[in-house]
Amino acid sequence: MEWSECDGGASGAKGAEPARGRFRTPRKWLSAVLAASVCALSAACGVAAEGKPSARSIRVTPHDEATGVRAADPLEVSVREGRLERVRVLRKGDAQRRALPGRLSGDGRTWQPAEEAGKLALASEYTVDVVALDGNGRRTARHTTFRTQVPEHRFIGFFTPEHRQTVGTGMIPSIDFTRPVADRAAVERAITVRAEPSVEIAAHWFGRSRLDFRPRTYWRPGTRVTLDLRLRDVKAAPGVYGVQHKRVHFTVGRDQRSVVDAARHTMTVLRDGAVADRVPVTAGAPGNPTYNGRMVVSEKFDVTRMNGRTVGFGGEYDIEDVPHAMRLTDSGTFLHGNYWAPKSTFGSANVSHGCVGLRDTKGGSPGSPAGTFFRGSLVGDVIEVRGSDERTVAPDNGLGGWNMDWASWRAGSALR
């Protein structure tokens, strides 16, 4: 999903908001001086955009976020110029995380599934990650998702995290249903989450299509968690029945939590309770501050595109090769590498559209502050922001349930 509420400047957010994808209203840019420092909109962004490969040159069929894709529909990746370096298509929930086998055309510009791949699986979600090279060897990337058709009058749940994944201590198992659930109690009874060692785990509904589970406090490292989806033949609404019977296991890894002090422009990394690192950062500018509160890493991308048009910022930024990006909210807050801002920005100024930026190099350096943090992070790690002028992130914006007290969380179960 190639969008973010970050800007192309020195870096790059629900309560009463919609459960998915809040589009923030563009705010007036602070000043020409800030504009210059943010992306060097007149220089750095222009240079980055001029003559570089464009993610728009990578065409993926089906289109990004397509739904109802039929099993026999074509799947193809192509570039207008240059060549494809890497194409990886995964079916989410696949226990072995096996990439769909494919073949490249002779000129390297087109990728299609191999014959042995067969048809797409129904009632499934696929991710497509592409890296392409232009004639000068410069890379650009594209990440898309699509969902295949769910048979009429049937429903399934798309779940997070992945089967057999090792996650951080803040992971909140979350299920998005393909149809609105009228009988939430019946569906909730059909889903269990168990932990070894055992802890109390409670469910919370966000609207009629999303169900999250969490313990009272963060998971203990080493905990093994099992998510059981026994939805087959469960009646969710009149005439709508489940078709899914799935058991998902994941393991909780080491305990890493990071605290971003937006006022002091620093991030303190705590590993197993001890300070492991302190990193200078840049957060949201005064007109577009970063959310306060606890956010959970839900996705990691070596490189991704961030386009302001997708979150209501118009053409203020469009950066096609943002390195070391970790999603914190559904509405577009990321913690990511930043190669276009002056080194002096980090630790001294907040200049983004809401993201948290760490210093990096073009193409992403493993040894940069962003690269080091990225390599040491897991999906499920907690990033807490303090000292910002923005409100606290809503519990349904990403995996933000840790911002709700335990009594309120338990009250969200349909069985209580």
> What's 314's domain CATH number?
2.40.440.10
| Domain count of the fold of the chain | 3
321-336 pLDDT tens trace = 899 999 999 999 999 9
Residue reference for tokens 């940069």: 368
Mean pLDDT score, 85-96: 85
Out of 148, 175, 197, a domain closes at 148
pLDDT band at 305 (very low <50, low <70, confident <90, very high): confident
At 382 the pLDDT is: 98
pLDDT at 132 over 80: yes
- The catalytic position among 6, 39, 45, 355 is 355
Q: Where are the beta strands (DSSP E) in 178-233?
A: 191-196, 201-206, 210-215, 224-230
pLDDT at residue 313, rounded to an integer? 57
Q: In which band, very low, low, confident or very high, does the pLDDT at 28 lie, cut at 50, 70 and 90?
A: very low
Is the per-residue pLDDT at 13 higher than 70? no
Q: What is the pLDDT of residue 117?
A: 87
**From residue 226, how far is each of 195, 213, 248 by CA, in Å?**
6, 12, 6
Whether the pLDDT of residue 20 is over 90: the answer is no
**Residue-level pLDDT at 27:** 37
Clarify whether residues 233 and 285 are in a common domain. no
Judge whether 63 counts as a catalytic residue.
Answer: no
203-224: b or e for each residue (b if 16 or more CB lie within 10 Å)? bbbbebbbbbbbbeebbeeebe
Q: Does residue 3 sit within a domain?
A: no
56-59 own/partner pairs: CB under 8 Å, 24+ apart? 57/81, 57/82, 57/132, 57/140, 58/130, 58/132, 58/140, 58/142
| Per-residue model confidence as pLDDT tens digits over 175-191 | 999 999 999 999 999 99
The band of 98, judged by pLDDT with boundaries at 50, 70 and 90, is confident
User: φ and ψ at 48, to 5 degrees?
Assistant: -65, -35
Strand order in the sheet with 58-61: 58-61, 76-79, 110-113, 102-104
CATH classification of the domain holding 105: 2.60.40.3780
Q: Is the pLDDT of residue 46 over 60?
A: no
Would you call 355 a catalytic residue per the annotation? yes
- Tell me: do 261 and 392 sit in the same domain: yes
Q: Based on the domain organization, do 356 and 366 belong to the same domain?
A: yes
How high is the pLDDT of residue 127?
Answer: 94
Report yes or no: 162 and 249 within 8 Å, Cβ to Cβ: no
Domain end position, chosen among 108, 129, 148: 148
What letters, b where the CB count within 10 A reaches 16 and e where it falls short, cover 335-364? bbbbbbbeeebbbebbbbbbbbbbbbeeeb
**Residue 29 pLDDT > 60:** no
Q: For residue 357, tell me if it sits in a domain.
A: yes
Considering the domain boundaries, does residue 68 fall inside one?
yes
Boundary of a domain, candidates 148, 181, 208: 148
Q: Could you tell me if 4 and 355 are in contact, meaning their C-beta atoms sit under 8 angstroms apart?
A: yes
Residues 276, 394 within the same domain: yes
- One domain for residues 268 and 385: yes
61 and 48 within one domain: no
The pair of structure tokens assigned to 377 is 């992070």
295 shares a domain with 195: no
The pLDDT value recorded for residue 314 is 55
Q: Same structural domain for residues 225 and 269? A: no
Question: Residue 21 falls within a domain, yes or no?
Answer: no
Task: Report the CATH number that the domain containing residue 215 is assigned in CATH.
Answer: 2.60.40.3710
In a domain, residue 382? The reply is yes
Pair 227, 365 in one domain: no
- Give the mean pLDDT of the chain: 86
Distance CA 282, CA 297 (A): 18
* Secondary structure (DSSP) of 286-342: TTSPPPBEEEE--EEEEEEEEEGGGGT-TTS-EEEEEEEEEE--TTS-EEEEESSS-
Residues contacting 335, CB < 8 A, separation 6+: 297, 325, 326, 328, 355, 356, 357, 358, 373, 383
- Over the stretch 371-407, which tens digit does the pLDDT of each residue have? 999 999 999 999 999 999 999 999 999 999 999 999 9
Arithmetic mean of pLDDT, 204-222: 98
In this predicted structure, what is the pLDDT of residue 219?
Answer: 98
**Is residue 12 situated within a structural domain?**
no
Contact 294, 380 (CB under 8 A): no
Same domain, 216 and 244: yes
* pLDDT interval class at 308 (50, 70, 90): low
Q: Is the pLDDT of residue 53 over 60?
A: no
Answer whether 141's CB lies under 8 Å from 321's CB.
yes
The answer to whether 340 touches 361, Cβ cutoff 8 Å, is: no
Q: Is the pLDDT of residue 352 over 80?
A: yes
Please write the tens of the pLDDT for every residue from 250-295. Answer: 999 999 999 999 999 999 999 999 999 999 999 999 999 999 999 9
| Claim to verify: residue 391 and residue 272 sit in the same structural domain | yes
- 205 and 277, same structural domain? no
Domain assignment present for 367: yes
198 vs 52, higher pLDDT: 198
355-378 average pLDDT score: 96
- pLDDT surpassing 90 at residue 318: no
Q: Is residue 312 part of a domain?
A: yes
The residue segments making up the domain with residue 75 are: 55-148
241 class by beta-carbon count within 10 Å (0-12 exposed, 13-18 middle, 19+ buried): middle
Flag the least confident range among 28-42, 54-68, 71-85, 211-225: 28-42
Q: Identify the active-site residue in 204, 265, 336, 353.
A: 336
